[in-house]
Structure 1
Amino acid sequence: MADLQPSAVGTSSNSSGTSSNPRFTPVSYDQDSDSLASGPAKSPIGPLRVETNFDDHPDVGDPLSDLENEYNTSAELEGKFRQGGSAPRYTSEEESEVVKRFDRRLVPFLALLYLLAFLDRSNIGNAKIAGLQEDLQLSPSQYEWLLTAFYITYILFEWMTLMYRLVPPHIYISLCVCGWGLIASFQCLATSFWGLVVLRALLGITEAAFGPGVPFYLSLFYRRHELAFRNGLFISAAPLATSFASSLAFLIVKFSSDGPISPWRTLFLVEGFPSVVVAVFAWFLIPDSPGQARFLNRRQRMVAQQRLEENTVDYQQSYGSRFNWREILKTASDPKAYMAAFMFFSCNVAFSSMPVFLPTIIKDMGYSSLQAQALSAPPYLVAFVVVLLTAYASDHSRSRSTYLIAHALISSIAYLAIALTGHFHSHLSPALHTFIRYICVYPATAGFFSAITLIITWSMDNRVEKEGKGASIAILNIIGQCGPLLGTRLYPQSDGPWYVRGMATCSFFMIVVAVLALAMRILLQRMNRAVADSTYTIVEQAGPVERGEERDVLMGGGRRDDLEHSTGDKRLVYII
C-alpha cells in the first residue's frame, strides 16, 4: 500500500532531535457497511487514515523500545503495535485503568493541597469574628487591606504559572506548599497590622506559584474532554475548605476560648502547620510527567504517554528543549484569551468576597459568633457537590458554555434576591427576610464556584501546545485575579447588616459572566463552521467522504485527535 506524505502536521521532536512524521495511507470502505475493509483502495486517491511511523528511529527517545525487554511473549506484546508494527497501540481497558490511577492517586492529592491553600487563605474571615479585629485594634479599612494585600502579590506573581514547564513539578509544588504552610502558621505571631500585612502579602506569593498553574499541570495528564471533571475535583476543594474552615473554627473558638493564647491565634496555627507536613509527602507523590508516575507500572506509563502523544521519554528532557515563545505570543494576541480572562475577573468578584465575608454577613443577620461559624459551612458543602456534578456533566456532553451561562444566571438571581430583600426589609418580617437571605446564599455560592471551574477549563480546552495552555492560564489569572481587588471591598462594615450594594454588585458581575460566555459560544460556533467548511472542501478533492465521517475525524477523542491533518495546518475543533 503506497504511502502519501503531505507536509507533516503536529510533529514533535524528541530530545535527540528525531521526529515521527504522520503519514496518510489510502484506505477503502466496504460498500455495504461503514467498517474498514482490508482490500486495496477503490481509487488511486481515497479517504486517508493517519499512521505514525516510528521505525525510522527505533532506538532513540522511544519509550516503547524499552518495553521489548519486559514483554517477550506474543500475548504480552499484543496491543503494543498496530498491524505492521508502525504505531503504538493499547486497549481501551488499559487506557481506562491509567485514567483511574490518576484519578485515585494524583487528583485527590492535588485537591488536598488546594484545600489547605484555600483554608490558609480564607480563614482570616473566621479569625476576624474570633477576636482578631479586637486584639490588633484593626479598623474596617485595615481589615480590607489585609484581604487586598494577599491579592496584590497573588496578581503580581501569576507569571510563575510558567514555572511548571521549567522546574520539575515535584520540587516546585513541594516548595510552594511548605512556603505557604510556614507563612500561614506565622500569622499566629502577628502583633500589629503591618506585621500581618507583610505575612498576607508573602502568603499571596506562595499560593500564586501553586494554585493557578495546577489546571495547566493536569492538562499534561488528561485529554481535554476529561479535564473539566478533574479540574472540578481540584477546585471543589475550595468550597470544601471553606466549609471545613467554618466547622473547624467553630470547634477551635469553642474549646480554646479559655486557653493560653487567643482563639484566632490557635486558628492560624492549627490550620497552617499541616501544610508543612504534607509538603514532605508532595515531594515523593507528585509525578513530573505521565511517564514518571511511580504509581503506574512500566506499560501503564507508556500508555499514559502515548494516549497524549508525548514524544519525550521523560519530563526532564523537555526542560532543556526549546521553549515555544511563538505559541505564547500567539496566545497573547488571541481575543478569546481575554474574553475568558474578563469572565474570570467578573466571577472572581464574587468568588473572593463571599468566603471571607460570609461569617460576618450571617452574624449580622442576628446570630451569635458561634452560630455564624456553624451556619457558614452548609452552603459550601452544597457547592462542593454541585461543582462535581456540573463538571461531570460538562465533560460527558463536551460542552462548557451551556452550564457556565446557567450557573452564572442562577448565581446572579440569588445575589439580586439577597440585595432586594435587604432593600425592602422593612416590608418583611425579620424571620422571613433572614430566611430568604440565608437560603439564597446556597445557589449564589454554588453558581460562582461552578462557573470558576468551567472558565478555567474552557480557557485551556482550545489550546494544543503546552506553552499555549500555560500562557492562557497566566493571562486568565493576571487579569482575572484583579477581581478580588474589588471583591474584597464590597462588604464594608458601614453597609451592614444588609450589604445591599455588595450583593447587587456581585449580581451584576455574574450577569457579565453569562453575557461573555454567550459571546464566546457564538464566536467559537462560527469558527467551527468555518473550519468544517474549509476541511470539507479539501476532503472532497481527495475523495468522497460522508459528512458524518468527516465530523468523526474532526471531533476525535484526544488532544491531537482533534486536529485536522489533511492540509498541513493545525485545525482545532473548539469545544463550545
Structure 2
Amino acid sequence: MVSSSYKPVVDQDEDRPDSSGSSSAHVGSNRYTPEGGSDDDELEDLEESEGYELRRLNKSGSKRGSTAGDTTGDDDHDDAEDEDEVPATRRRKASVASFELYTPDEEHRVRRKLDTHLVLFVAMLYMMSFLDRSNIGNAKIAGLVEDLKLDDDQYEWLLTAFYIAYILFEWMTLCYKIFPPHIYISCCVMAWGVLASLQSITSSFGGLLVLRTLLGIGEAAFVGIPFYLSFFFRKDELAFRIGLFISAAPLATSFASSLAWGIVSLGGKTGIASWRLLFLLEGFPACLVAVWAWWWLPDSPASARWLRDRDRKVAILRMRKEDDGVEPSEKASAAQANLPRHKQKFNWRLVLNTLKDPKAYLTAGMFFCCNVAFSSMPVFLPTIVSNMGFSQRASQGLSAPPFLFAFFVVLVTAFLSDRIKSRSIPMIFHATLAMLGYIVLAIAGATHLGHTLRYLAVFPICAGFFSAVTIVITWTVNNQPSDEGKGTGMAMLNIIGQMGPLVGTRLYPDAEAPYYVKGMAVCAVSMAMVAGLALALRLVLKAQNAKSSRVWHVHEPEAEGEALVGSNSKSSGGPFMYLT
C-alpha cells in the first residue's frame, strides 16, 4: 500500500439503524461496509491493514461527489461539533460506514500490468494458433500435394475437416468456467503444438486428415479467451483488450507469407522437404510456450503471480462493480464470491436461459455474415495483386499492407468503443465501410476498372471485418451478466458464426474468375446485414435498459453515490445495463 492516507466520503444517513437494529450501510463496488455489530477492535484492524485514515465527514457540509481527502473549512468545524455530540463508539462505527479501498492511480497501475502481462501473452498465443491453422496453404505451395500425391478433393477435405471439428467443439468455451484456466489453456496450446508438429512426419492423406481434425479440436478450445479476459476486465474495458487479442490475426497474416518463404528457402539446405520443415518450425514453438503458460497464466486476479499483494487486492475489488444490478440468481453466492471461477457452482439453468436469449442469436448472426464475406479474401487478394504485374516476392509484400492497416484500425476502434461505451456505433460504421469496399470491387470488376482501385478497396474490407469481429465478440460477452451466460454466448457465436466460411468459400467459382462480381455483391449484402442486425440489437438493448431503469427507480434502495479516491465518477449500483 502507498504511504499516504486517504480520508473517505462518509454519509451520516448510513448510520441509521434498520428494523433489526443493524446499520443500513450499503456495499458499493469499491467500498467496504462493516456489519452493524462491528466493534472498535475490528475497525482498527481493518484501518491498519488497508492503510487508510478514516474520518467522519458531515453530510450538510460536503457535496456529493467530493473526493476522499477533501477537508476544508466548514467540514472541519462540523466534524468537531459531531465529535462533541456523538458517543465515541457510535461515532467510530459511523466513520467507517463506507470508504474507498483503492485509488485511481492504483487501478491504472493494475490495469496496465494486466495488459502487458496477460493480454499481450494470450495475443501471442493466438498469433501462434493462427499460423498453425493457416500454414497448410503455404505447405501446398512448398510441395505437400506432390509428395503425398493429393488430388484437389483430398486437399479440400484437409481444409474442411479442420473447420468441421473446430465448429463442433466450440462448446468447450464453457470449460474456462469448469477447469482451472491456466491448466486448460496450457493443455490446449500443448495439444495444437504437438499436432501441428506431427504434420511434418505424416506420409499419407489419411494420417494428415486425422491430424487436421484433431488440430481443429485443439484450437476450438482456445477461442474462449475473450470469456477468460472478462474475469479480469470490466465490460467497459473489454473491447480494447479483445482488440489486442484479435489484432494478432491480421498481424500474423501480414507476415505469414514472408515467414513461410524464409522457412521454405531453408528446405533445400537441410535436406528436409520444405513443407515438413514449415510444419515443424511453426508448430513446435507452441509446445515450449505451453510450459510457460502453465506457470504464467492466472486463474483469477487473486492468483496472478506477477502482481504484488496490494495489486491483487485492487484487481479483485475493482471487479466487484460488475455485479451491480445483476440478479442474485445469476451471480455467485456470498460464500463463493471470492473463489476462483472453476470452484464456484456451475448453474446449468443459466446455460439454458442463454440458449433461449434472442440477443445471443443476433450477435451470432452478425458473426456469420462477417465470415461469409471475409472468407473470400484469400481467394481474390492474390489474384488482384498478381494481376498488377508484380513478381511473386513483391506480390507477397503487397498482400501485407491491408492486414497491417487492419491491425492498427482494430486497436483504435476498440479503444474508442470502450471510451464512448458503445458497441453498435463502431459496428455499424465498419460494416458499412466493408460493404462499400465490396461494392467498389463488384463495380470495378463489372466495368474492368484499374487494378489499383481494386487493391485500395481491400483496405476498408480488412479493417472493417477485423474491427466488426472484435466488437461483436465483445458485445456477446457484455450482453450476459453471468459467467455461464458469457461462456454459452461465446460458444453460440462461434458455432453459428464459423459456418460462414462454409458458405463464403463457395461464392467464387473458377468460371467467374478473376473478378467474381456476383461473389463481391453477395459479400456486400452480407456486410449490410451485419449493420442491420447491429442496429436491431441496439434498439432491443436500449428498450431493455429503459425498462430496467424504470423498475429500478420504483424499488431504488436508499444509497448515496460513491466515488473513487481522487475521482469524480459516481456509482450507486443500479440495474444491469447493456452497452448499446
Deviation at 1:368, TM superposition (A): 4.3
1:227 & 1:182 partners in 2: Cα distance?
Answer: 31
2:118 & 2:551 partners in 1: Cα distance?
Answer: 40
Q: Does 1:379 align with 2:402?
A: yes
Which region of structure 1 is more displaced relative to structure 2, 264-273 or 384-393? 264-273
2:164 & 2:182 partners in 1: Cα distance?
Answer: 27
Quote the residue 1:186 is aligned against. 198
Please give the per-residue CA displacement for 1:103-158, whole angstroms capped at 9, x wherever unaligned. Answer: 11100000000000011112223333333344444444433332221111111111
Quote the residue 1:437 is aligned against. 454
- 1:510 is paired with a residue of what secondary structure? helix
Q: Does 1:308 align with 2:319?
A: yes
1:315 & 1:72 partners in 2: Cα distance?
Answer: 18
1:207 & 1:332 partners in 2: Cα distance?
Answer: 23
Normalised by the length of structure 1, the TM-score is 0.79
2:32 & 2:345 partners in 1: Cα distance?
Answer: 23
1:411 & 1:22 partners in 2: Cα distance?
Answer: 54
Q: 2:468 aligns with which of 433, 438, 451?
A: 451
Deviation at 1:460, TM superposition (A): 1.3
1:533 & 1:168 partners in 2: Cα distance?
Answer: 39
Matches within 5 A, 1:494-573: 494-539=511-556, 564=574, 571-573=575-577
Quote the residue 2:373 is aligned against. 350
Q: 1:506 to 1:130 in 2, by over 3 A?
A: farther
Q: 1:336 to 1:125 in 2, by over 3 A?
A: same
User: In structure 1, what residue type is equivalent to 2:515?
Assistant: W
User: In structure 2, what residue type is equivalent to 1:194?
Assistant: G
Q: Does 1:204 align with 2:208?
A: no
User: In structure 1, what residue type is equivalent to 2:480?
Assistant: R
Q: 1:138 to 1:49 in 2, by over 3 A?
A: closer
Which region of structure 1 is more displaced relative to structure 2, 529-538 or 300-309? 529-538
Which region of structure 1 is more displaced relative to structure 2, 93-102 or 504-513? 504-513
Quote the residue 1:396 is aligned against. 419
Provide the identity percentage.
51
Quote the residue 1:418 is aligned against. 441
Listed as ranges, the gaps of 5+ residues in structure 1 are 7-20, 26-47, 59-63, 551-555, 565-570
Q: Does 1:169 align with 2:181?
A: yes
- Larger CA Rg, structure 1 vs 2: 2
- 2:142 is paired with a residue of what secondary structure? helix
Quote the residue 2:305 is aligned against. 294
Q: 1:442 to 1:536 in 2, by over 3 A?
A: same
Contact 2:16 2:24 in 1 (8 A): no
Residues paired across the two proteins, number: 510
Matches within 5 A, 1:475-486: 475-486=492-503
Please give the per-residue CA displacement for 1:155-208, whole angstroms capped at 9, x wherever unaligned. Answer: 111111011011111111111011111111222233343333222211110011
Please give the per-residue CA displacement for 1:15-47, whole angstroms capped at 9, x wherever unaligned. Answer: xxxxxx99559xxxxxxxxxxxxxxxxxxxxxx
- 2:132 is paired with a residue of what secondary structure? helix
2:421 & 2:335 partners in 1: Cα distance?
Answer: 29
Q: 1:57 to 1:3 in 2, by over 3 A?
A: closer
Quote the residue 2:238 is aligned against. 227
Contact 1:125 1:357 in 2 (8 A): no
Contact 2:17 2:24 in 1 (8 A): no
- 1:95 is paired with a residue of what secondary structure? helix
Q: Does 1:574 align with 2:568?
A: no
Q: Does 1:2 align with 2:9?
A: no
Q: 1:356 to 1:240 in 2, by over 3 A?
A: farther
1:131 & 1:358 partners in 2: Cα distance?
Answer: 22
Quote the residue 1:471 is aligned against. 488
Please give the per-residue CA displacement for 1:203-255, whole angstroms capped at 9, x wherever unaligned. Answer: 110011012x1000000000000000000000000101111212212323445
Q: 1:154 to 1:135 in 2, by over 3 A?
A: same
Deviation at 1:521, TM superposition (A): 1.0
Q: 1:338 to 1:84 in 2, by over 3 A?
A: same
Contact 2:124 2:248 in 1 (8 A): yes
Matches within 5 A, 1:259-338: 260-309=271-320, 318-338=341-361
Normalised by the length of structure 2, the TM-score is 0.79
Please give the per-residue CA displacement for 1:327-368, whole angstroms capped at 9, x wherever unaligned. Answer: 222211110111011111111223444257744664466544
2:144 & 2:383 partners in 1: Cα distance?
Answer: 13
Listed as ranges, the gaps of 5+ residues in structure 2 are 1-14, 56-67, 70-92, 324-333, 563-567
2:511 & 2:217 partners in 1: Cα distance?
Answer: 31
Deviation at 1:318, TM superposition (A): 4.4
Deviation at 1:466, TM superposition (A): 1.2
Which region of structure 1 is more displaced relative to structure 2, 176-185 or 317-326? 317-326
Please give the per-residue CA displacement for 1:518-549, whole angstroms capped at 9, x wherever unaligned. Answer: 1111111222222333434555xx8999xxx9
User: In structure 1, what residue type is equivalent to 2:16?
Assistant: A
Contact 1:232 1:388 in 2 (8 A): yes
User: In structure 2, what residue type is equivalent to 1:296?
Assistant: L
Q: 1:87 to 1:255 in 2, by over 3 A?
A: same
- 1:295 is paired with a residue of what secondary structure? coil
Quote the residue 1:215 is aligned against. 226
Which region of structure 1 is more displaced relative to structure 2, 290-299 or 245-254? 245-254
